[in-house]
Amino acid sequence: MNHAHTYTTDDVLKALETSSRGLDHAEVQARAGQYGPNRLPMAPKESAFRRFFHQCNNVLIYMLIAAATITALLGEWIDASVIMGVVLLNALIGFIQEGKAADALSAIKAMLSQQAMVVRAGQQHVIDAIDLVPGDIVLLQAGDKIPADIRWLSVSAIQVQEAALTGESLPVVKHTAPVDADAELADRHCMGYSGTTISHGQGSGVVVATGGATEIGGISRLVSEVAPLSTPLIRQINRFANTLTGVTLAVAFITSLVGIWVWQYSLAEMFLAAVSLAVAAIPESLPAIVTITLAVGVQRMAKRQAIIRRLPAVETLGAVSVICTDKTGTLTRNEMTLKQIIQGRNHFTLSGTGYDPHGLISQHGAALNAQQHAAVSTLLSASSLCNDAVLRFKDDQWDVQGDPMEGAILVAAQKIGIDTDTLSRQCPRVDLIPFDAAHKYMATLHHDHNGTGIIYIKGAPEALLNVCDTALQGETYTPIDRAYWYQQIEYLASQGQRVLAVAQKASLPEQAQLRFDQTHDGFALLGLVGFIDPPREEAIAAIQACQRAGINVKMITGDHATTALAIGRQLGLKRIEKAMTGQWLSTLTETELDDQIIDVDVFARVNPEHKLRLVEALQRQGFIVAMTGDGVNDAPALKRADVGTAMGKGGTEAAKEAADMVLIDDNFATITHAIREGRIIYDNIRKSFMFILPTSVGEALIIMAAIIMGLEHLPLTPVLILWVNMVTAVTLALALAFEPAEQHVMQRPPRKADAQLLDRFLIWRVVFVAIFMMLGTFGIYSWQIAKHGDVLMARTVAVNTLVFFEIFYLFNARRMIDSVCNVSGLISNRMIWLAIGVLLLLQMGLTYYPGMQHLFGTRAIHLHDWFYVVIIASTVFFAVEAEKWWLRRRHPITAVST
């Protein structure tokens, strides 16, 4: 029944062909066959074998596999094993990190209730929730999880915690009256939804939907249908791999033709030369370096309270241009705070946030003493007695058991010096009328030890104003001015505050029971209290940091528009002239939403489909979207977003499993820290590209030059090329993963979603350095051949020159544009010097250790040869620093966008 919320209780029972006695056994069996079990359908999982080999579906990986195969055919088994090891490592990491969708659906399934109390054929039974069918009558009480979607038939002070489904921050009071057909999910107060929890009261309802037909089933279906996007880094690496593959094959083919036609090399010789060129051009270590750089970022973020569940998300954070964030618990503390009191004609403000009972009461900015707020004490004493919450100090923090607003009243009472425990003993409760949606208030009867009786009442202001004849003004009671009080209610609501009214009246000393007819008139209004879930101070600062970094923050919440706009103003969001509600959003076409979404930063009363539409609309505009959430209702949008971010403390397992990142501290400020780390990581990956590629291009140019010039022997053999590529990667290139942030990393705008990893600047730098490396290495090889005629010694000098080129260039690569000719540029990354030390030991082994000489075809070289190696290789350092100086002069503000 899609519109059960529009039916009366009698009509819904009639439509479902059931009654308060429930279904009989035969009808249950028939409906079980018709509707199936009350569980969520699960999509078949992809086999582990297919998921593992899916990780190798990348052109660059194909090139690596081809290189390993050819290297193995050449008999170089060690090198082939190293390359295949890199391939398998990347595949293994991807395999472990994959599987979000299946995990998310499993977590949603776990939210369903396991058992249910039902009425069948007039008898109560406890059954497995999986056996429920539409038309069953279920009985529920505080602490129960609702086992299916139900239409309430009877309620007694029922309150349901629906935050995980609707985003509503406070428990929702339920009633049995039908609501409008177009009412949002959070406003369907006559409905109970599968997976939500009864926080107070008891009631009964008729099952209207089970399994996949429930609201949570619809969300499960959305999660299974949403296709997660590829990350910007993966898209960029794929483009790079395709380009590199095409260029390498073309160059190898053309160079081989030149060798055969011009210098009459044999086909076998050119095949080996083409293999050398291909091995030189392929940056075998690049996937491993990218993976390690991302892993280093994961460790850094973990220290910042952000747990990364999917490795590429580390880098994607650096490209985020829009953050869509939940309000409750992320931007706010998820702790109701009594912020304002209106007593008579006086307005009072209480300082402090959350449940910590430390704070001051003030009026017009001036703190008041106990005598000056006597009337406020009367109000807070009354509301503390008419109260079922408990305030406790546990595990070094204050916590409230019960209704959050009632807990906030106890906190406020303690702030002004009221001992609520002593108060309860001095004026014990005799009887009560619990809160109910029908009358919208709670009333309690108390007697003090002198026999004086008094009735306190607390609830919705519009309900209490109708039963009050007078109002307390200071120490006197005056006739109530209802127009004035309605004005004050509107004022507090406009501030985004939830409002309660408090009143009292005397009772007879002998009265022991509280009747409804005694709550209809004769009360004196003590005042109004306004509550708010206050913004986190660190969230305000974090939003400002995001705005400086060019990142737009949009708040998406299940709360009412007025509350959302008030919080948006306090947080400093930019576009807060209006809030787009879910009902409004539903009326917009895709084109209309695309046109309007940029101009709105506050979205209220939204459901899971709305959140998903918002994320998709922003992505169509070219934004990289981070989405935060904590409920099952957030799971589809979390999965669709470029970076889904779940709350670690208050988040559901469904949200965590659908997300790429989990915030341990549920703090929006942590997202800002993570974005900063993401930008650093992307910079370091670019630096790794900028460092590794010149070597690969330089090696390829050396091979090309040797073939074009018709040399008898190649300056570098495939095994030496592989040696250089691997040892410099695991030492020098790896050190760049630990680079600290460049200046103003959070003052520049986010990079564009379609930005090229290899832009014009990076291509220029790669070619510029590669030519230097080629000329220096080829030149010293040719000089050694002319001087000694010893090919093995000339190759040894050449390979050491190439390695020293990389050592000197490593310092240049630490800064894209800024000079490294300073203390910070030389010593701020200790890993640089450790990497150089390890590499020098490896090069000494390659040059002088007999076993390695035999394996790699090298010879011991003289001391003066090292002098020439260092002098020639150092030229790249000075050349690149001169190029940086020229770029800084040409573009004083930013020579490069990143």
Residues that are catalytic: 326
Q: Is 499 left (phi over 0), alpha (psi -120 to 50) or beta?
A: beta
The full 3-state SS of 703-756, as one line of letters, equals: HHHHHHCCCCCCCCCHHHHHHHHHHHHHHHHHHHHHCCCCCCCCCCCCCCCCCC
CA torsion angle 28 29 35 41 (round to 10)? 110
Q: Identify the three-state secondary structure at position 217.
A: helix
Q: How far apart are CA 244 and CA 696, in angstroms?
A: 11
- Dmax over CA atoms of the chain, in Å, equals 120
Dist CA 552 CA 183 (whole Å): 30
**Residue closest to 507 by CA, chosen among 429, 436, 439:** 429
Eight-class DSSP state of 266: -
Q: Of 653, 663, 583, 594, which is closest to residue 626 (Cα–Cα)?
A: 663
DSSP 884: H
Instruction: Report CA-CA distances (Å) from 162 to 168, 183, 210.
Output: 6, 16, 18
Distance CA 687, CA 736 (A): 7
- 149-161 and 123-128 as β-strands: parallel, antiparallel, unpaired? unpaired
Nearest in space to 283 (alpha carbons), one of 802, 724, 778: 724
Q: How far does CA 435 lie from the centroid of its chain?
A: 38
Angle (CA) 473 478 479, round 5°: 135
Q: Which residues pair with 478 in a beta bridge?
A: 471
**Rounded CA gap, 683 and 815, in Å?**
9
SS3 assignment for 449-509: CCCCEEEEEEECHHHHHCCEEEEEECCEEEECCHHHHHHHHHHHHHCCCEEEEEEEEEECC
Supply 350's token pair.
């209480």
Going by C-alpha positions, the residue among 591, 346, 301, 371 that lies closest to residue 484 is 346
Give the amino acid at 523.
F
CB neighbours (10 Å) of residue 422? Answer: 9
Token duo for residue 618:
């922003």
User: How long a stretch of residues is the chain?
Assistant: 898
Number of neighbours of residue 542 by Cβ within 10 angstroms: 23
C-alpha 637/C-alpha 629 separation (Å) is 9
* SS3 category, 876: helix
Q: What share of the chain is helix, strand, coil (3-state, %, to 5)?
A: 50, 15, 30
Amino acid at position 719, single letter: V
Contact 122, 50 (CB under 8 A): no
**Sequence-distant (≥ 6) Cβ neighbours of residue 646 within 8 angstroms:** 628, 629, 630, 634, 638, 655, 656, 658, 659, 661, 662, 663
CB 539 within 8 A of CB 498: no
CA distance 524 to 464: 10
Q: What type of residue sits at position 204?
A: S
CA 551 vs. chain centroid, Å, equals 15
Q: What type of residue is 263?
A: W
Residue from 872, 752, 883 nearest 816 by CA: 883
